[in-house]
């Protein structure tokens, strides 16, 4: 165990369970909020309307055009509603796109956020915001970005399609994997990361067989929460840098990109992080963590190549250049030739 470390706890209130959406009015009252804006994507308008009805007079308006990668122009439109409706807080209902919009609003206004996640992506537990402007995705940290309340309602995940469930779960796994070898990791983070991976790897096959199994869904959501906590308190490395670069440059779907890149980024770093690999092997009950990840992806029928989700091969050189443009921590030095080779393999779905 490390003899010396720093662990920064995040000031978020978490309500976890079945049917916990019903606590939303009480949580709004606790924060003293009277005019909430309910956020969602176009696909989740019906759910946003249910939440608006649950809040009654506390939710005078909704904004239902949250978009992947949090484009700055969408945030500007949402801010116009915030000002016109004299909004004093936001409720984000959905996955990373909606939660990202709530964070972008909070960064600019310091309004309180309540989040009801419907996926396993984990953005709700971090003070991190990724925004896209003119084809470039940038990230930043700020206390303003951290949501004040997260309501995990397992019931909201029961209808999440199987493919999206699997992709979102792999997104969560990526948070824990990189946290295990982050330069600012510590024993608390390592414990959460290992337990988060174990819970997800145990629960995901059960969810694939019985999507309506509430216990399996609860375990999957619990694991994703732990993985998200790791993301919130450590510095991410090559994997997340690549995913943000590729997503911003080529508008690739966020969760699919994470799922495809994860085993390649892990293989790149594995020789330098034996303790992290040992923890992953233990959590996955395998002596080959990377092989276990790939087998689970195949079982979930997840795309295994970047070309399958729309990345052009000729974009590899541009992606390498942008990924190298800003230094970031990673256990193995990131060099252009090795990074290009990694992306070539990830583009083709070969090489592991």
Is residue 8 a part of any domain in this protein?
no
Is residue 35 a part of any domain in this protein?
yes
CATH number at residue 100: 3.40.50.1970
Q: What is the pLDDT of residue 262?
A: 97
Is residue 3 a part of any domain in this protein?
no
Q: What is the pLDDT of residue 33?
A: 98
Domain of 108 in residue numbering reads as 13-157
Of 139, 157, 175, which residue constitutes the final position of a domain?
157
Q: What is the pLDDT of residue 286?
A: 97
Q: Which of 107, 106, 132, 120 is nearest to 231 (CA)?
A: 120
Q: What is the pLDDT of residue 1?
A: 59
Whether residues 134 and 38 share a domain: the answer is yes
d(CA 351, CA 328): 25
Claim: this prediction has a pTM higher than 0.75: yes
What's the token pair of residue 83?
């000002």
Percent of the chain with pLDDT over 90: 87
Whether residues 84 and 27 share a domain: the answer is yes
Whether residues 174 and 311 share a domain: the answer is yes
Is residue 1 a part of any domain in this protein?
no
d(CA 69, CA 72): 9
Of 133, 157, 181, which residue constitutes the final position of a domain?
157
CA distances from 183 to 178, 196, 259, 276, 332 (A): 10, 19, 23, 12, 11
CATH number at residue 178: 1.20.1090.10
Whether residues 136 and 218 share a domain: the answer is no
Whether residues 149 and 166 share a domain: the answer is no
Whether residues 325 and 215 share a domain: the answer is yes
Is residue 4 a part of any domain in this protein?
no
Whether residues 210 and 61 share a domain: the answer is no
Q: Which residue stretches of the chain have pLDDT < 70? A: 1-2
Is residue 273 a part of any domain in this protein?
yes
Specify the number of domains making up the chain: 2
Q: What is the pLDDT of residue 327?
A: 73
Of 110, 137, 157, which residue constitutes the final position of a domain?
157
Is residue 204 a part of any domain in this protein?
yes
Whether residues 153 and 215 share a domain: the answer is no
Q: What is the pLDDT of residue 154?
A: 98
Is residue 65 a part of any domain in this protein?
yes
What's the token pair of residue 36?
């909430």
Whether residues 262 and 280 share a domain: the answer is yes
Q: What is the pLDDT of residue 267?
A: 97
Q: What is the pLDDT of residue 288?
A: 97
Whether residues 30 and 68 share a domain: the answer is yes
């Amino acid at each position: 165990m490390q003899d010396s470390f720093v662990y920064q706890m995040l000031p978020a209130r978490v309500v976890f369970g079945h049917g916990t959406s019903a606590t939303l009015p009480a949580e709004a009252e606790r924060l003293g909020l009277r005019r909430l804006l309910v956020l969602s994507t176009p696909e989740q308008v019906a759910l946003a309307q249910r939440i608006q009805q649950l809040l009654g007079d506390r939710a005078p308006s909704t904004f239902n055009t949250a978009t992947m990668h949090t484009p700055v122009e969408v945030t500007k439109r949402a801010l116009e509603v915030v000002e016109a409706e004299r909004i004093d807080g936001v409720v984000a209902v959905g996955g990373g796109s909606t939660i990202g919009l709530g964070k972008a609003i909070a960064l600019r206004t310091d309004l309180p956020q309540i989040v009801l996640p419907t996926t396993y992506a984990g953005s709700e537990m971090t003070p991190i915001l990724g925004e896209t402007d003119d084809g470039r995705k940038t990230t930043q940290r700020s206390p303003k970005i951290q949501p004040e309340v997260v309501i995990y309602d397992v019931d909201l995940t029961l209808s999440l399609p199987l493919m999206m469930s699997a992709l979102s779960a792999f997104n969560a796994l990526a948070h824990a994997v990189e946290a295990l070898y982050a330069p600012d990791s510590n024993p608390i983070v390592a414990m959460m990361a290992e337990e988060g991976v174990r819970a997800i790897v145990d629960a995901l096959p059960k969810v694939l067989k019985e999507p309506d199994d509430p216990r399996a869904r609860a375990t999957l959501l619990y694991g994703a929460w732990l993985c998200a906590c790791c993301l919130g308190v450590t510095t991410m490395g090559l994997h997340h840098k690549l995913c943000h670069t590729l997503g911003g440059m080529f508008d690739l779907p966020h969760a699919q990109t994470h799922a495809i890149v994860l085993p390649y980024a892990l293989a790149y770093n594995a020789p330098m992080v034996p303790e992290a690999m040992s923890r992953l092997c233990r959590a996955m009950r395998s002596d080959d963590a990377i092989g276990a990840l790939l087998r689970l992806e195949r079982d979930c029928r997840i795309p295994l190549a970047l070309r399958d989700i729309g990345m052009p091969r000729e974009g590899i050189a541009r992606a390498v250049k942008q990924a190298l443009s800003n230094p970031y921590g990673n256990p193995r030095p990131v060099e252009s030739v090795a990074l290009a080779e990694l992306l070539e393999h990830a583009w083709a779905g070969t090489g592991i």
